[in-house]
Structure 1
């Protein structure tokens, strides 16, 4: 069937759809017209909201076919990653709320259990659908219930180890489970590894089905079928709906961005977009005031690699997102995209490090969580100098809690022998890349946020930082703000707010969560009435390490009140970055309030513990030392 972007705003069939039941009353021709209307509606919505467009356009016909045949929510439909679920949301009673997509108090950009009964399983990370689906199928059988479980997996997600672990288990179980492989030969960028070649061989009929990988896993293989041809899709799905024996894999071939020429022609098929003009495809972009942290990292790593041919870069299917595509352009033989396989990425890096190379493993904070055992067992335990470049650290805005980098400080800084840094601005990030490149004594990590930098003057070359040393930015006498990471800018704003009230504030960039600058922390406690630690991470991270140190040294004795500001003990829903910081109470206003309230309740209000010039002289000396380096 022909595809069309359907710019015509008329949607007579879609207007009739209040739930998937309405599709079951439509004939084949009407469903084809509905698919065209749905494609146009999806385009118009995402052109206003931004979000994951290419993947949603690629499953328009598949989504229509699924809801025309299966009886959700009685039948369980699970979307892997679920960034392709926008058409699904439109057809399941959420059309009138779609323009709240990815906004505060709006619809999530992914499936979410609390949002709708049609979202049986929340997702956003890759390759979980078959495992979850087998859980649903097993529960169904144990409870003696009926109904189908359908898992839609694609966009490179089938290449991850977890998907194969689940297939191994599901094939052996023999339980009724339908897996739909959405084969679009893409993840965020072109898929890597051997599996895409295997799928291509099946598509081209160059390999006999008797040797099909999926059959060998115990699945009844069907396909391949054109995923944009409803005349072919619907009869196949109806057959599977009738068939109630064993696990089945349906191989559906689609095109990411299908039906919209600008998306089909783009290298990433418009995987994730800003708001855009539907007619031209041109995305709205706010001019950047400073380079992004991702670009700064990539350029700094390239500069280090020019001087050291042992430096290599590893990414897990996020080459463009982490900036490793820039490194690859300069050093193609020293760049490794291992696909959606974070566990493998970390242990692969460990093997490189054990062989004398200098691997930089660039992975988003939220995705690095998937490799935690490998970080402990294969890297930390062996004290291997793997360098972890942790992008998207902290809150990330519209992608919400599934993509927020909230836990990496906590889960790395507690590991023996680890060095953990956080860049307060883009210039500091350049120095931290250089520090990691020159650090051979064990694993080292540095975290930095999404988005553009602060606009500071950039160094011509990165320099090694003294391990475990912070730096004093501004000197005061009453309150000390000890910042770990990019909340430093808000600490400086809070200092100005407190100065208007006559409160004198020291601002310090900790730089390191591990090892701590214990001498500097002791100075701050001895010479201030109040110490506030500030970090964009969960409770149990930097502030907890400071408290632990002070408690063990007997320094929590009331001489200096201590407060820790962290992300709250909750998952913060998607919103703008400013709204998320407001909810997390990590803005300058909240930092100033914490300091003000703490000092007001202190018995040493307005005074420093060590009177006279001795304490001030010591702090001033450390300030000059910090400036010298």
Structure 2
């Protein structure tokens, strides 16, 4: 086996083309085996095997610097830079992250999880090189839909200004996470169809030189192309046409569902474990919106390249027709588009992962909220229970968006409340509304829920007690219930409150609590700094009411265990009850 002997790119250079082909097969086998056990990005990496081998065969990493966009195409790069054991030895599968990571290797220069950034980062490396009068290649790897992001186009537009070495490897696998959208990809198709000879060429229009590789999974073609551009004196785009999921038939034939996958059975492709059962808010949301679309032609669902975040699988996208819009990897455009749709009389609903909502703060503030456009945003995985790698953490949303004027941010506690809030948000015309979709599973409460939230910032008292009031927000409402039960055993009957509104204070209720309560406790599934609890603490600052705020410390966490994080932040019912009693 060649792969187990690869300790650095220097070992790749010792092999001939036929041996490199064997290495490619070994890498695919290792990828499929690890991913079947561990889960991860399947299609993007399987399609990049030969290109990664060819880059390390031709270029001289780490002197020559490779920047992998999104870095979910970087698994093969890790294999060839001293980390092969993490793909060959199951006991070491967790030794590396799913993204490029400088702490792992001198061959990685950035920790990258969000897309469309590699060209800009590479431009910075190239400019620093030129300022230092040094001489090496800088290679930006981009593709798998990443070109649709605005920053990618900004980077390409600037690249010409360098007037020096910058090599942009464009991995064109004809896909994003789902299918590609937009005129840019029509040009890529034209270039593929004409073998790179079309006069209309987005890269040349940006001032870059251009090289086309018809078969981006052919080592000979790739090595030849990279040798041609190595040490180039001008920015150049190398457009390689690859097959997403190459080498695993199921991934080749079902590119969207195999972009990223849970652990699976290699023979059948069936997901292992209990991942396929039960209701989920994504599917329920898509079903709800499809019904709304049938009743109202102005309802529009928007995604930025992640349609299944709110349940829009291919069949449901087809049902929605023109009432479903995928803008590509362009969150900024999605928010501005939603504002325009709302202003034009439509009813837009933008479904997005919390981590990606971070990419469009300016549009949220300026395009949406300054204009008070009544669009709806569904924020998914905004929770400690959401995605847990450092680049996709979702629990920073409350400080980020809950402090933008005009925005109404709602935190439902159960299925009934979520859909009541969603229906109100879609139909109302007065506010931009965001809803923090529950992240701890679909649960029913049995409590009656309001259908109208137009009287803003009215909290719900679900249990009346005295001395201690617990305001348990969204997903942490259940934590509040469990804490209340523990305290009841100690003779403390608390008032339990479902705040519902993240963005404002129920001043009347908070003032009334002073009569029979000496302590107010807040629970929030997000960072404390700038969060919901601080608003409550500020309200009681000049009073005799003691406030305790429970939430998460402001920090970047990577591949964390949820239970460990909860305990470290005193977010178990036992710890909260103990802290309350200690202060009392």
Range class of TM-score, shorter chain? over 0.9
Distance 2:507 2:477 in 1: 19
Match of 1:38 in 2: 27
**In the TM superposition, what are the counterparts of 1:219-368 in structure 2 within 5 Å?**
219-241=208-230, 243-268=231-256, 270-286=258-274, 290-325=278-313, 328-368=317-357
Q: Secondary structure at the match of 1:56?
A: helix
Deviation of 1:186 (Å):
0.8
Instruction: State which drifts further: 274-283 or 589-598.
Output: 589-598
Q: What is the rounded CA distance, in whole Å, between the counterparts of 2:435 and 2:93 in structure 1?
A: 29
519, 540, 548: which one aligns with 2:508: 519
3-state SS of paired residue (2:214): strand
Q: 8 Å contact 1:481–1:507 — kept in the other structure?
A: yes
Deviation per CA, 1:375-415: give whole Å up to 9, x if none. 11111111111211111212355551322222222222222
Shift of residue 66, structure 1, vs aligned partner: 1.4
Distance in 2 of aligned mates of 1:135 and 1:504: 59
Deviations 1:279-305 (A, max 9, x none): 222211416674112223323333444
Q: Which residue of 1 is the match for residue 555 of structure 2?
A: 570
1:5 matched to which residue of 2? none
Deviations 1:119-178 (A, max 9, x none): 101111110000000000000111122221111101110111111111111113212100
Decide whether the 8 Å contact of 2:75 with 2:98 is kept in 1.
yes
- After superposition, give the CA deviation of every residue in 1:202-252 in whole Å (9 maximum; x if it has no partner): 1110874443121121111001331111111112212222x3301010001
* More moved, 200-209 vs 40-49: 200-209
Deviates most, 517-526 or 232-241: 517-526
* Correspondence list, 1:7-22, <5 A: 12-22=1-11
Deviations, residues 92-121 of structure 1 (Å, cap 9, x unaligned) = 222333489999974221112223222101
What is the CA–CA distance in structure 2 between the aligned matches of 1:379 and 1:508, rounded to whole Å? 30
Query: CA, structure 1 residues 289+41, in 2 after alignment: closer, same or farther (shift >3 Å)?
Result: closer
Partner of 1:416: 405
**Alpha-carbon distance between aligned partners in 2 of 1:210 and 1:144, rounded to the nearest angstrom:** 36
**1:317, CA displacement in angstroms?**
0.9
Residues 244 and 255 in structure 2, CA contact (< 8 A), matched pair in contact too: no
Output the CA distance in 1 between the equivalents of 2:283 and 2:76.
33
CA spacing shift, 1:347–1:548, aligned 2, 3 Å = same
Q: Distance in 2 between matches of 1:204 and 1:532?
A: 63
CA distance in 1, matches of 2:224, 2:379: 46
Structure 2 Cα separation of the partners of residues 579 and 31 of structure 1 = 43
- Indicate the larger mover: 152-161 or 585-594: 585-594
Which residue does 2:393 correspond to in 1?
404
Q: Distance in 2 between matches of 1:208 and 1:147?
A: 29
Give the aligned length.
581
Deviation at 1:426, TM superposition (A): 2.2
> What displacement does 1:269 show?
5.2
Partners of 1:483 and 1:289 lie apart in 2 by 28
Partner residue, 1:190: 179
Query: How many angstroms apart in 2 are the aligned matches of 1:207 and 1:224?
Result: 8
1:486 alignment partner, SS class: helix
CA distance in 1, matches of 2:417, 2:470: 18
Structure 1 89/287 Cα, relative in aligned 2: closer, same or farther at 3 Å? closer
2:357, 2:340 → 1: CA distance?
A: 17
- Shift of the alpha carbon at 1:329? 4.2
The alpha-carbon distance between structure 1 residues 464 and 548, as it changes in their structure 2 partners (threshold 3 A), is same
Partner Cα distance (1:595, 1:103) in 2: 42
Q: Residue by residue, what CA displacement relative to the aligned partner does 1:8-54 show, whole Å, maximum 9, x if unpaired?
A: xxxx1111111222111111111110110011011111111111111
SS in 1 for 2:168: strand
Question: Matches of 1:97 and 1:280 in 2, distance apart?
Answer: 24
2:435 is the alignment partner of 1:446: yes
Does 204-213 or 225-234 show the bigger shift? Answer: 204-213
Partners of 1:55 and 1:101 in 2: how far apart? 21
Structure 1 residue 525, shift from structure 2 partner:
4.1
1:300·1:462 contact (CA, 8 Å) conserved in 2? no
Matched position secondary structure for 1:563: strand
How far has the Cα of 1:575 moved from its partner? 2.9
- SS of 2:160's equivalent? helix
Distance 2:307 2:410 in 1: 22
Preserved contact between residue 202 and residue 224 of structure 1 (Cα < 8 Å): no
Shift of the 448–183 alpha-carbon distance from structure 1 to 2, 3 Å rule, reads same
| Structure 2 residue ranges without an equivalent (≥5) | none
Q: Relative to 1, partners in 2 of residues 1:282 and 1:395: Cα closer, same or farther, differing over 3 Å?
A: same
Distance in 2 between the 1:356 and 1:245 partners?
52
Mark the CA change 1:13 to 1:581 in structure 2 (over 3 Å): closer, same or farther.
same
Of the candidates 463, 482, 499, which is equivalent to residue 474 of structure 1?
463
Give the Cα separation in 2 of the matches to 1:530 and 1:106.
Answer: 45
* Aligned with residue 546 of structure 1, among 527, 536, 554: 536
Preserved contact between residue 491 and residue 591 of structure 1 (Cα < 8 Å): no
Displacement of 1:307: 4.0
CA distance in 2, matches of 1:38, 1:342: 34
Q: Residue 327 of structure 1: CA displacement?
A: 5.7
| 1:88 counterpart residue number | 77
d(CA) in 1 for partners of 2:404, 2:240: 44
1:151 aligns with 2:140: yes
Counting only pairs closer than 5 Å after superposition, residues 594-613 of structure 1 correspond to structure 2 as 594-599=579-584
Q: Name which of structure 1's ranges 99-108 and 138-147 shifts more when overlaid on structure 2.
A: 99-108
Q: 1:502 to 1:387 in 2, by over 3 A?
A: same
2:152 — aligned with what? 163
